[in-house]
Amino acid sequence: MVLDSNALRLKEKIEAAFADVPYPGDNNLVETRIPEDLDAVKYFRGVKWQDWKDKPAEFLNSKANDYSFFLSPAAFRYYLPLYMILVLTDYAASGNRAGEIITSLEALGAIDKKIRDHAKRQLSPMTAAQLKVILEYLEFFKRKHGADYIIEDIDSAITNLQIYAK
């Protein structure tokens, strides 16, 4: 797929912002031992996101959706670039990955304190540069694909991330 110049620049920014994030380690991929967490461990164990950045659909679409919710904060930080790159570069093949990202960030404003705290924990290792590029990604996504989603959800994710990043 040929990316327009804005998408290509954003992909490069995502790669640069997350380039030095270390692999969280096989024992730090999830926080609990519930079945969903254990499935996520099996899926992500030993996988380096940089190895898949030019073919993210081959990796992320080979298993069930929604694993990002079960990742530890370190693992969420480590794998989020791959999710964003997939949606950015191959939207048609990205399935629910865009929704996973939006929901993760929308949860920062959740009524349920446990969900809100989980979302904050997942973002806690992010640097200011990483939060900035995530925000750029959301704004780009809204312009390109906003009609495919409930716009209030995207706006909520953007607003919540802006508040969190302050």
- Kindly list the distances between the CA atom of residue 11 and the CA atoms of 128, 134, 135, 157, 158, in Å, as whole numbers in the listed order: 17, 11, 13, 20, 18
What pLDDT was estimated at residue 1? 59
Query: Would you state the pLDDT for residue 70?
Result: 74
Residues of the chain with pLDDT under 70: 1-2, 35, 37, 61-66
The pLDDT score that the predictor gives to residue 142 is 96
Q: What is the reported pLDDT for 152?
A: 94
For CA atoms 137, 162, 128, 65, the dihedral sign is negative
Residue 46 has, within 13 A of its CA and on its CB side, a CA count of 1
Give pTM, 2 decimals.
Answer: 0.88
Q: Which of 123, 114, 112 lies closest to 160, judged by CA? A: 123
